[in-house]
C-alpha cells in the first residue's frame, strides 16, 4: 500500500505500486504509473503519460515527464518510460516524447545529478551518470555506463557510446565513440577510458585490442572509408567490434582526437608485462 503525505495531490486515475512513498507537496497526474518501492521527495512532480519502474528515487523539485520543449506542440504528446533503480536528484527535468507515438526512454541503475535535463525523445541506457547540470538535447542517445561531466551540453541527435567518459564543461556537437575520454572545455578525445574499462571487468587482452583499434581510428592518418574497412576486417570479435558498429551509422561526424604529432606513439603493452608492472608498483608503494 502506498504512503501518501496529506499535502500531496495524487490523481485517482494514477497507478501506484506497493510501497510507494509520496512526500509533501508532490503532484502525481492522471495516467502516471509508478512502480513498487518508488520514493518521491517533497515538491516533485510526476506528469501524465509517465511510467516509472520499481525502486526509483525522485529528488526534491524534480519534474518528470513534462511536455517536449518544441515550437510545434502535439497533444497529448508522447510518453516517458523509466526503468528500475534510478536515482534522480533535485530539480532534474525529463521530458516525454514529442510526437504522440514517440517515447523518451531511461534504462536502469542510472544517476541523474542535481539540475540535469533530458529532453524529448532521448535514449539513456543503464548505469549511466549525468553530473550536475548536464543538458541533453532532443533525440540524444547515451549508451550504457557512459559518464557525462558537470555542465556539459549535448546537441540534439548526438550519440555517446558506451563507457565513454566526457569531462565537465564539454560542448558535444558530434558523436562520441565508445570507450574514449573527452577532455572538458576543448571537447576533444584524449585516449581510452582505461580506468573505466578496468573497473568494468575488461581484461588486459581486451584493453590491448581496443588500443590497436584506437590507433587505426586516430593515429594512422587513414581515409575514413579505409578506417571502417580495417575495423571490420581486423576486429570481427571482442570489444573492438563496437567501434565499427558505432561508426557505420553515424550522421553527425565524430569527435576528433586532440591534435598531436603524427609521430606520436600509442603505448602497446604486453598484458603479462602490464600486470607485472602494476604489481611492482604496488610493492614499491608498500615499501
Query: Alpha helix locations (H) across 104-203?
Result: 194-199
Using an 8 Å Cβ cutoff, are 112 and 130 in contact? yes
Instruction: State the Rg of the chain over Cα.
Output: 22
Q: Crossing angle, helix 204-218 and helix 224-234, to 10 degrees?
A: 160
DSSP per-residue string spanning 192-252: E-HHHHHHTT--HHHHHHHHHHHHHHHTS---HHHHHHHHHHH-SSSTTHHHHHHHTT-SS
CA distance 21 to 228: 51
State the catalytic residue, choosing from 43, 95, 117, 120: 120
State the catalytic residue, choosing from 61, 83, 95, 121: 121
CA distance 128 to 148: 8
Active site residue 121: yes
State the catalytic residue, choosing from 53, 78, 107, 138: 138
Active site residue 144: no
What does the block give as the cell for 282?
A: 604496488
Using an 8 Å Cβ cutoff, are 78 and 67 in contact? no
The neighbour count for residue 51, using CB atoms within 10 Å, is 19
Active site residue 138: yes
What φ, ψ does residue 264 adopt, rounded to 5°? -65, 150
Which residues form the catalytic set? 120-121, 138
Amino acid at each position: 500500500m502506498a504512503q501518501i503525505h496529506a499535502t500531496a495531490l495524487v490523481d485517482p486515475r494514477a497507478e501506484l505500486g506497493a510501497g510507494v512513498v509520496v512526500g509533501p507537496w508532490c503532484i502525481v497526474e492522471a495516467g502516471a504509473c509508478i512502480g513498487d518501492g518508488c520514493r518521491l521527495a517533497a515538491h516533485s512532480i510526476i506528469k501524465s503519460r509517465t511510467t516509472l519502474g520499481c525502486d526509483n528515487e525522485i529528488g526534491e523539485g524534480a519534474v518528470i515527464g513534462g511536455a517536449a520543449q518544441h515550437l510545434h506542440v502535439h497533444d497529448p504528446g508522447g510518453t516517458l518510460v523509466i526503468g528500475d533503480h534510478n536515482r534522480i536528484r533535485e530539480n532534474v527535468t525529463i521530458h516525454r516524447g514529442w510526437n504522440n507515438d514517440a517515447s523518451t526512454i531511461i534504462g536502469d541503475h542510472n544517476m541523474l545529478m542535481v539540475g540535469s535535463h533530458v529532453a524529448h525523445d532521448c535514449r539513456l541506457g543503464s548505469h549511466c551518470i549525468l553530473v550536475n547540470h548536464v543538458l541533453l538535447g532532443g533525440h540524444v542517445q547515451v549508451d550504457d555506463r557512459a559518464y557525462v561531466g558537470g555542465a556539459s551540453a549535448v546537441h540534439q541527435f548526438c550519440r555517446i557510446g558506451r563507457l565513454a567518459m566526457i569531462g565537465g564543461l564539454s560542448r558535444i556537437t558530434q558523436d562520441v565513440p565508445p570507450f574514449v575520454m573527452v577532455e572538458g572545455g576543448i571537447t576533444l578525445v584524449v585516449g581510452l577510458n582505461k580506468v573505466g574499462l578496468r573497473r568494468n571487468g575488461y581484461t588486459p587482452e581486451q584493453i590491448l585490442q581496443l588500443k590497436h583499434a584506437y590507433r587505426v581510428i586516430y593515429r594512422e592518418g587513414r581515409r575514413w572509408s579505409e578506417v571502417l574497412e580495417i575495423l571490420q576486417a581486423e576486429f570481427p570479435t571482442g570489444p573492438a567490434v563496437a567501434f565499427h558498429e558505432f561508426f557505420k551509422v553515424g550522421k553527425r561526424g565524430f569527435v576528433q582526437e586532440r591534435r598531436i604529432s603524427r609521430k606520436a606513439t600509442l603505448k602497446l603493452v604486453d598484458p603479462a608485462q602490464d600486470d607485472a608492472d602494476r604489481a611492482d608498483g604496488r610493492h614499491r608503494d608498500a615499501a
